[in-house]
Amino acid sequence: MSRRTRCIGRSAFSLPLFLLAGCASNIVSTPNVPQPLLPPTDAAAYLEAFAKGVQIYDCARKDSSFEWKFKAPEATLADRSGKTLGKHYAGPTWESTDGSSVVGEVKAKDPGPQSSAIPWLLLAAKSHAGKGVFADARYIQRVATTGGIAPPDGCSEKSLGQQARVTYTATYVFYK
């Protein structure tokens, strides 16, 4: 029996109504995304994590000019109540407070609704470590992004090797 079914069954027959709200908070809704960002139909959303952090860019030479080149994310992951779930960093890697982790690779990208934000993504798990919340992750969606895009200027010969840390937020939805 699924966790959702247990929650609904218990609340309907033996628990007070206020417990139903606790069960409902464990339900992860699938975000409305463009077709290329949908995981396979046999994948089920099981975890939603809210990221708050920075996207890190290095100032690098590109041919005869200079550009901010993406290096890595650095963010804290939390649930809806604000409880820390883990962290997100280079790889891209998501690591839980329980020690489990998943490394993903981008399968699809969409600019998302805000041109001032990093794109929305669908990633597939390419490796896992540990036993815990991320051990069974097969796909990860990055949606509801704000900020995080590379600075439009400021990268020049004088600033080669410097970093820009650009604030961002995103929602990550994990699928089994």
Residues 25 and 95 placed together within one structural domain of the fold: no
pLDDT of 26: 58
Give φ, ψ of 56 to 5 degrees.
-100, 130
Could you tell me if 49 and 109 lie in one domain?
yes
Please list the ranges in the chain whose pLDDT falls under 70. 1-26
Judge if 80 and 15 occupy the same domain: no
Within this chain, do residues 58 and 132 fall inside the same structural domain, yes or no? Answer: yes
Question: Residue by residue, what is the 3-state secondary structure of 39-90?
Answer: CCCCCCEEEEEEEEEEEEEEEEEECCEEEEEEEEEEEEEECCCCCEEEEEEC
- Cα separation of 66 and 52, whole Å? 28
61 lies in the same domain as 108: yes
The reported pLDDT for the residue numbered 28 is 86
Query: Do both 20 and 55 map to the same domain?
Result: no
Q: Do 11 and 66 share a domain, yes or no?
A: no
Asked if residue 155 is part of any domain, the answer here is yes
In a domain, 21, yes or no: yes
At 3 the pLDDT is 40
Q: Domain span at residue 48?
A: 43-175
Q: Judge if pTM exceeds 0.85.
A: no
- 162: in domain: yes
Reduced to 3 states (helix: H, G, I; strand: E, B; else coil), residue 35 is helix
Q: Classify residue 24 by its DSSP letter.
A: H
Q: Give the closest residue to 66 by CA, choosing from 165, 161, 166.
A: 161
Q: Is 36 within the bounds of a domain?
A: no
Q: Is residue 123 part of a domain?
A: yes
* Res 8: pLDDT: 37
Are 68 and 155 members of one domain?
yes
Same domain for 4 and 53? no
**Residues in contact with 111: Cβ distance below 8 Å, sequence separation at least 6, in sequence order:** 119, 120
The Cα–Cα gap between 101 and 133 comes to 8
Distances (CA, A) of 132 to 87, 99, 116, 176: 14, 7, 35, 13
Domain count, the chain: 2
pLDDT value of position 48: 97
Rounded Cα gap, residues 53 and 166, in angstroms:
8
Cβ-based neighbour number of residue 94 at 10 Å: 29
Amino acid identity, position 124: A
Give residue 12's pLDDT. 37
38 is a domain residue: no
Residue 135 maps to a domain: yes
